[in-house]
Structure 1
Amino acid sequence: MSSGRHAHLPGSRRQGLLITALSLAPSQLIGSAFNIWYNLSHIQPLLTPVQHQVFQEAIGVFNLTVYPAAMVFWFWLFFSLRPVASRLLADQPVPPARLMAAQRRVINLPWLSMLVAGIGWLLCIPVFLTVLERTADPLAPQVWIHLPISILISTVIALTHGSFTIDLLSQRLLYPLFFRQAHPAEIPGAYPLTLKNRITFWAVSASICPIASLLLLEFVPNANNMGSFSLLVGLLGMGFSLVSAWMLSQLVVEPVDMLQDAAKRVAQGDLTVQITQPRGDEFGTLIDAFNAMVTELRDKQHLLETFGRHVGEQAARQILQQDPGLGGTEQVLTVMFADLRNFTARCNHSTPQEIVALLNLFLADMVEIVEHQHGGMVNKFLGDGFMALFGVGEPDGDHAARAIASGQAMLGSLEQLNRILAEKNIAPLAIGIGLHTGPAVVGSIGSPQRLEYTAIGSTVNIASRVESLTKTVGYPLLFTAATRVALPADIPLQALPPQPVRGLDQPLPVFSLTQSVRLDRSAPGTAKGNRSGESGA
């Protein structure tokens, strides 16, 4: 899922260039209206009748020559983008150099609007002053101050609001089309409006312009309508402030809200979030970094899930949390070995596909019991069995009791599996489980080119030997005295005769639970007696 707030209809995208080009007109008309009003109210009283007539004629000629030329150039900037836009709308390829040039122009549109409109406005100052100076009547000194300042105020009003409008509409209508695969913040030669630029423009248009207009009135002679004009200037200033603030909020506050919403969704575990609004300013860099962060988190999660399927989820987390390399730490664990009985003989009478399917069916249940129900870690698969660790990373845990409970649950699950196999006329399975508690070195072991996360030590070897004893003792679940000491006192168990174990000088005391089922040694793979395998320890 993507995080964005503006769905662009095909019609608006097709007319995006025209709509954006025309959006410059309202701000220019507002600036012109303010300038004309100011001139009529406060500059005209400073002119003689001859100067006034010349001034009006100069305005007419200027509006018929300079402004049309500026408009033609402005619309040419957009018209030159149409071929690229048409190919993008038709999903046709565009030469990279040509596409980048178009993208650069789209980003620079606010500055280009200020350049085109600014030249048109600022030319008024030398042209009009020159025309007025050449009349026979002497020009009042106040005109040299009021005329340039009035035009400058009108220019700032038109340019700031025009750039805000162009920036806002280009973000809405042009960026989604021209930046489908590119990042606006990475386009060379582009100069987007920054946050500092926007705040400066807003301050100028919302405060400096109206305040400067009011200050000018102090130097206007015969200003008998000072009060009404001051009121209107103040109202216009507030109106400009509200409009500028709204546009600023659309350009600045909105991406902050989008980033906040997306961050909340990521915190809740939704790693499908992607912010699809392209930006060329500082927010573009933030959005790109946020999307890259989410992508990295998603890749890491995928790695953990995929890696966990091979080494176990807990082992994967342990590996990713520690520094890579060789080495391990000594921990007190309960090690479990589980092995299917007479599985080699079964393989001689079944196809490889049948054996793999049966193993997967068996191991799926066992892994679920060990890891998800009792917090163990299936460390490695050993053909028709596996080794599991209980207590990794737990300095003082109940890993021995959980290992016993897991073993009993495994026996109960095997009963259910055998009932399913019996319905399919498949011989039942039998399992031997051996447990031993003690210190072992846990960590990454191997070579710098190939590592294996596992446990080594005499505790592991003894657990493997105890599992082998289930074949001779006849109980499917055996554990040592070290595991017995770590168990709660109320667990019912029975001591079995000490058994000789290869590698130990003395026979090894072993124990079983009183609820365990004694196997019939004469018929391996079958069991007799009543089982209560699903009861926990």
Structure 2
Amino acid sequence: MSDAPNFGNTPRWSFLERHSLFFVCVSPVIANAIGSIFNILYNQTQIEPFLSEAQMQRFDQCWQWFNMAVYPVAISCFLIPLLWLRPIHRRLLDGQSIEPHLLEKAQRLVINLPWWFLAVASAGWLICIPVFPAALRAVPEPLPDDVVTHLNVSFIVASLIAVTHSFFAVELTIQKALFPVIFQNTVPANVPGTLPLNITARGVLWAFSAVVCPVVSIVLLLLVPDASQQMPRFAVAVGVVAVLFGLTTSWMLGKLVATPLRQLMNAAMRVADGDMSVRVNLLRADDFGLLIERFNSMVEGLREREQLQQTFGRHVGEEAARQIMSQGDRLAGKEQMISVMFVDVRNFTAYSSTHAPEQVVTALNVFFREAVEIVEAHDGMVNKFLGDGFMALFGAGTITDAHANRAVEAAQAMLCCMEESTEKFADAGWPDLQIGIGINTGPAVVGSIGSPKRQEYTAIGDTVNVAARVESLTKLVGHNLVITEATRQQLPDECQVESLPPQLVKGKGVPLKIFGVKAKPQLPSPR
């Protein structure tokens, strides 16, 4: 995607992007100009002194006619793809739509432009090797062998200087100026029929330009007879120029390689810190383009997973959501010692029969919001809502110790909250809302239960059934919070409870020992 800011429907492009075709056209000029200057100086110092007057005249005619014939052809070849791109480039700058097949053709051409420029520049330089010696040999005078050697050296060194640096300059300019315009809604790495330079080949070309070219240039000069002795300063100058160009190539390679690496590293660090909004907005057609696309897709997947887990967690509880997602598709349930809490709103049937459904739901949501926060603050999870109540589990998550005490403290905090939130319930239309809470402790099967197509994370077993029965006893025994003997045995000795008459419950042949617990005015934090 393009980074150009939009105002209305028209993107606001930078000066570089508006004139990107011009900058692409002139990007290889400096390297080729340096190569030409080297070639001219070399010819003046190493070749012209060995030529006769007639040969010198033919040499001057040759380079004049060569420049008049070859340069226009080379420049035309440079301009042909840019002239074809110009109307498409202009329409994209103006925010106009382009036919898909035409846009894909333009994108493919843009990615392959460095290779086209490389081929044109190489042909323009290397064609000098057969042309100039042939023109000099046409003069009816003997041509020294050293002259041919000097000519070949001058053209080879000049082409080494010009061509490799031109490739990097064109590629860097295209990525910086032309890619944002041409690839506004497409990833360059996904365009078919392209030949981007991969990381390995880029390293080889860099080594060739920054290491091989300077060394070869100096070695060729030293091998030429009398070159180093006659013009030692010139040989040193050639070496210095070649080394400087090698450093320039290294800088351009750093821009082409270090920039995406740095952005990917910074983005990865932000993702590690929990920032899922990060995106690497760098357009590349090479291996980095594929890597950037995969990285952005990975972050998007992580962001969707996080949103799914948050949404899922709101329905089944955050701890249950973590366990379900770590469990995957496996149907699994294991027996655990847990404490089960059932909470029910008193007189719900009577209240709902005399109030509008919206008013009933509003009041219940006020209660559920407070209750869920209290349960989760005490390391419990609200497992399911039961119309006018809910079931909560303690000890089924990562924290499995002291779950009975945490459940009782959560229930006491909930009762205190009911007393302190009278105004909230009054505003919701239910000023006298009251609840009953039953807690039981024991073994239960906890996990994902159901069929492969429909599963539920819950707890089942006698412990759960007894907890539900105990909650129904709260109205009968006159206590808002009732616990079983199994829960009482797990509480610390300082916890004050009131023994209540044993009660018969469904499914039990003997009366169940139960205890009443009062709410505490202030409770210490369980964490």
Same-fold call, TM cutoff 0.5: yes
Please tell me whether residue 300 in structure 1 is matched to residue 305 in structure 2: yes
Aligned with 2:478 (options 469, 474, 479): 474
Task: Name the residue aligned to 1:526.
Answer: none
Task: Name the residue aligned to 1:256.
Answer: 261
For residues 100 and 3 of structure 2, the distance between their equivalents in structure 1, rounded to whole angstroms, comes to 28
Q: Which amino acid aligns with 1:58?
A: C
Task: Name the residue aligned to 2:95.
Answer: 91
* Pairing 1:371-520 to 2, within 5 Å after superposition: 371=376, 373-394=377-398, 396-422=400-426, 426-513=430-517, 515-516=518-519
For residues 363 and 68 of structure 1, the distance between their equivalents in structure 2, rounded to whole angstroms, comes to 81
Task: Name the residue aligned to 1:117.
Answer: 121
Task: Name the residue aligned to 2:521.
Answer: 532
> Kindly tell me: are residues 2 and 103 of structure 1, through their superposed partners in 2, closer, same or farther at Cα, counting changes over 3 Å?
closer
Aligned with 2:239 (options 231, 234, 238): 234
For residues 254 and 472 of structure 1, the distance between their equivalents in structure 2, rounded to whole angstroms, comes to 73
For residues 522 and 418 of structure 2, the distance between their equivalents in structure 1, rounded to whole angstroms, comes to 9
Residues 226-247 of structure 1: per-residue CA shift (max 9 Å, x gap): 4312321222122112211111
Residue ranges of structure 1 left out of the alignment (5+ in a row):
517-530
Q: Which amino acid aligns with 1:456?
A: I
For residues 423 and 171 of structure 2, the distance between their equivalents in structure 1, rounded to whole angstroms, comes to 71
For residues 354 and 524 of structure 2, the distance between their equivalents in structure 1, rounded to whole angstroms, comes to 34
User: Conserved in 2, the CA contact under 8 Å of 1:2 and 1:274?
Assistant: no
Q: Which amino acid aligns with 2:29?
A: A
Task: Name the residue aligned to 1:365.
Answer: 370
Task: Name the residue aligned to 1:346.
Answer: 351
Task: Name the residue aligned to 2:35.
Answer: 31
For residues 328 and 306 of structure 2, the distance between their equivalents in structure 1, rounded to whole angstroms, comes to 18
Q: Which amino acid aligns with 1:253?
A: A
For residues 24 and 134 of structure 1, the distance between their equivalents in structure 2, rounded to whole angstroms, comes to 34
Task: Name the residue aligned to 1:523.
Answer: none
For residues 2 and 436 of structure 1, the distance between their equivalents in structure 2, rounded to whole angstroms, comes to 60
User: Conserved in 1, the CA contact under 8 Å of 2:206 and 2:250?
Assistant: yes
For residues 3 and 22 of structure 2, the distance between their equivalents in structure 1, rounded to whole angstroms, comes to 27
SS in 1 for 2:421: helix
For residues 220 and 83 of structure 1, the distance between their equivalents in structure 2, rounded to whole angstroms, comes to 50
> Kindly tell me: are residues 413 and 534 of structure 1, through their superposed partners in 2, closer, same or farther at Cα, counting changes over 3 Å?
farther
TM-superposed CA distance for 1:146, in Å, is 3.0
Please tell me whether residue 22 in structure 1 is matched to residue 11 in structure 2: no
Residues 454-480 of structure 1: per-residue CA shift (max 9 Å, x gap): 111111001101111111111111111
Mean CA deviation greater in 154-163 or 440-449? 440-449
> Kindly tell me: are residues 8 and 240 of structure 1, through their superposed partners in 2, closer, same or farther at Cα, counting changes over 3 Å?
farther
Mean CA deviation greater in 199-208 or 303-312? 199-208
For residues 240 and 103 of structure 2, the distance between their equivalents in structure 1, rounded to whole angstroms, comes to 44
Mean CA deviation greater in 455-464 or 78-87? 78-87
User: Conserved in 1, the CA contact under 8 Å of 2:438 and 2:483?
Assistant: yes
TM-superposed CA distance for 1:72, in Å, is 1.4
TM-superposed CA distance for 1:348, in Å, is 0.8
Q: Which amino acid aligns with 2:261?
A: V
Task: Name the residue aligned to 1:527.
Answer: none
Aligned length: 519
> Kindly tell me: are residues 536 and 491 of structure 1, through their superposed partners in 2, closer, same or farther at Cα, counting changes over 3 Å?
farther
User: Conserved in 2, the CA contact under 8 Å of 1:434 and 1:468?
Assistant: yes
Task: Name the residue aligned to 1:181.
Answer: 185
Residues 329-372 of structure 1: per-residue CA shift (max 9 Å, x gap): 1111111100001110001110011011111111111111112x
User: Conserved in 2, the CA contact under 8 Å of 1:405 and 1:536?
Assistant: no
User: Conserved in 2, the CA contact under 8 Å of 1:408 and 1:535?
Assistant: no
Residues 393-442 of structure 1: per-residue CA shift (max 9 Å, x gap): 34741211111111011111111222333467744111111111111111
Q: Which amino acid aligns with 1:232?
A: A
Q: Which amino acid aligns with 1:339?
A: D
User: Conserved in 2, the CA contact under 8 Å of 1:150 and 1:213?
Assistant: no
TM-superposed CA distance for 1:534, in Å, is 5.1
For residues 429 and 149 of structure 2, the distance between their equivalents in structure 1, rounded to whole angstroms, comes to 106
SS in 1 for 2:515: strand
TM-score normalised to structure 1 length: 0.92
> Kindly tell me: are residues 162 and 425 of structure 1, through their superposed partners in 2, closer, same or farther at Cα, counting changes over 3 Å?
closer
SS in 2 for 1:42: helix
Q: Which amino acid aligns with 1:314?
A: E
For residues 222 and 287 of structure 1, the distance between their equivalents in structure 2, rounded to whole angstroms, comes to 54
Please tell me whether residue 218 in structure 1 is matched to residue 222 in structure 2: yes
Task: Name the residue aligned to 1:318.
Answer: 323
For residues 315 and 170 of structure 1, the distance between their equivalents in structure 2, rounded to whole angstroms, comes to 51
Residues 173-213 of structure 1: per-residue CA shift (max 9 Å, x gap): 11111111111111111111222232222222222222222
Q: Which amino acid aligns with 2:504?
A: P
TM-superposed CA distance for 1:512, in Å, is 2.5
Residues 85-110 of structure 1: per-residue CA shift (max 9 Å, x gap): 12211222111111011101111111
Residue ranges of structure 2 left out of the alignment (5+ in a row):
5-10
Residues 296-317 of structure 1: per-residue CA shift (max 9 Å, x gap): 0000011011111222222111
